[in-house]
Amino acid sequence: MISPELFNEFVRNRRSVFPDQMEAGKKVNEHIIHEILTNALWAPNHGHEEPWHFIVFSGEGLKKLAHFQSELYKAEAGESFKEGSYQKLQTNPLKASHVVAITMRRSKKKSIPEIEDIEAVACAVENIYLSVTAYGLGGYWTTGGVTYYESAKLFFNLGENDKLLGFFYIGHVSSPSGRSRRSPINEKVSWVNE
């Protein structure tokens, strides 16, 4: 067991590490990725449905993801197309060791609201974040790019009621993030004692 003080410090020092802060070309051991994703599977979820499914891109798979998402963006952006966004979609995956597509496979139990499946996947992603931090790696959950494009579902083998919830970048850190800030607890927590 770890002490509560050590755990508190660990959680409060977790940071997002963006693709530009990752050491491009330096690979994370597959065993570590396996352990990180195993930790994700232990997230709480309603009815033991385990609605998460992760698709891991590495090696040449990163190029496949980069090509798919940049070209889909180009095809669907219309008047809101930005060359800078297109270029980022082409290059950002190549800066990471692994990119994990985060998907939600809708529960078969009709009694479970969709939002609870989404919340369970978010809990799994927090486990990924904490695991990446524990291994001394960098991680970043992005919901940009093609995340909410209905037309992206086929590429990720998602059904009509399933959802793509973003991408988690994992890599070695070349330049760490600075200290983060949070609002004081009294601004975010209300107590009802009577």
Q: Is the pTM of this model over 0.95?
A: no
The whole-number average pLDDT for the span 117-136 is 96
Burial class (CB in 10 A: 0-12, 13-18, 19+), 42: exposed
- Structural domains in the chain plus CATH codes: 27-174 (3.40.109.10)
The whole-number average pLDDT for the span 1-21 is 89
Cβ atoms of 121 and 102 closer than 8 Å = yes
Residues 74-98: pLDDT tens digits?
A: 999 999 999 999 999 999 999 999 9
> Mean pLDDT for the chain?
94
Tell me the C-alpha to C-alpha distance, in Å, between residue 149 and each of 15, 51, 69, 154: 27, 20, 10, 10
Scan for tokens 């530009």, then name that residue: 20
Copy the structure tokens of residue 174.
């070349």
Our CA dihedral for 22, 145, 117, 54, rounded to 10 degrees, sits at -50
Which pLDDT value is given to residue 175? 81
Kindly state the DSSP code that residue 26 receives in the 8-state scheme.
P
Grade residue 110 by pLDDT with cuts at 50, 70 and 90: confident
Which pLDDT value is given to residue 186? 87
